[in-house]
Copies of this chain bind each other. A is one copy, B any other.
Amino acid sequence: MLNPNRFFNPNPEVRNIASELYKEIKDLPLICPHGHVDPRLFAYNKPFPDPSALLIIPDHYVFRMFYSQGIPLEQCGIIPLDGSSYEKDPRRIWKLFADNFYLFAGTPSGIWITAELEQVFGVKEKLDAQNGMDIYDHIRNKLVQEDFLPRPLFETFGIEILATTDFAADTLEYHKIIQKSGWKGKIIPSFRPDDVTNLLHPAWRKNIDTLSEITNISITSMPRFIKALEKQRTLFKSMGAVATDHGIEMPFIHALSDMEADAIFERALKGTITRNDARLFTGHMMMEMARMSCDDGLVMQIHPGCLRNHNEIIFEKFGPDKGADIPLKTEFTRNLKEILNTYGNNPSFTLVVFTLDETTYSRELAPLAGHYPAMRIGPAWWFHDSLQGIIRQRERVIETAGVYNLVGFIDDTRAFPSIPVRHDLARRIDSNFLAGLVAGHIIDMEDAHRMNRALAYDLSKQVYCKDVT
Chain A interfacial positions (CB closer than 8 Å to B)? 2-3, 5-11, 13-14, 64-65, 67-70, 102-108, 110-111, 126, 307, 310-314, 323-329, 331, 333-334, 337, 340-341, 344-345, 347, 356-359, 362-364, 366-373, 375, 383-384, 386-389, 395-396, 398-405, 436-437, 439-444, 447, 450-451
Contacts and interface: CB of A to CB of B under 8 A. Distances in A.
Contacts of A398: 106-107
A399 B363 contact: no
A124 B360 CA distance: 38
Contact of A441 (B6, B311, B357, B444): B6
Number of copies: 3
Contacts of A324: 371
A333 B330 CA distance: 12
A263 to B, nearest CB: 28
Given A313-B345, A371-B324, A399 B331 contact: no
A108 B396 CA distance: 12
16 contacts: A3-B441, A69-B404, A103-B402, A105-B443, A106-B447, A107-B400, A108-B399, A307-B334, A310-B340, A311-B341, A326-B371, A327-B333, A359-B363, A362-B384, A367-B383, A387-B399
Given A10-B13, A442-B387, A444-B126, A371 B312 contact: no
Contact of A371 (B311, B373, B375): B311
A325 B380 CA distance: 24
Contacts of A363: 327-329, 356-359
Contact of A311 (B345, B389, B400): B345
In the A-B complex, the 3 residue pairs with the smallest Cβ-Cβ separation, listed nearest first, are: A6-B441, A105-B447, A10-B439
Contacts of A67: 371, 373
A370 B383 CA distance: 10
Contacts of A362: 358, 383-384, 389
Contact of A68 (B102, B369, B384): B369
Contacts of A126: 444
A442 B326 contact: no
B451 A105 contact: yes
A364 B358 CA distance: 11
Nearest to A104: B402
A164 to B, nearest CB: 25
B373 A440 contact: no
Nearest to A3: B441
Nearest to A443: B105
Contact of A340 (B14, B311, B395): B311
Contacts of A357: 359, 363
Contacts of A440: 6-10, 387
Contacts of A106: 398-399, 402-403, 437, 442-443, 447, 451
A138 B440 CA distance: 28
A26 to B, nearest CB: 16
A408 to B, nearest CB: 15
B334 A331 contact: no
Contacts of A313: 341, 345
Given A6-B441, A402-B106, A328 B323 contact: no
Nearest to A389: B399
Given A102-B450, A329-B331, 9 more contacts: A9-B440, A10-B14, A68-B405, A104-B402, A105-B447, A105-B451, A310-B371, A314-B345, A387-B399
Given A327-B333, A328-B333, A65 B387 contact: no
A333 B326 contact: yes
A398 B403 CA distance: 28
Contacts of A325: 367
Nearest to A388: B395
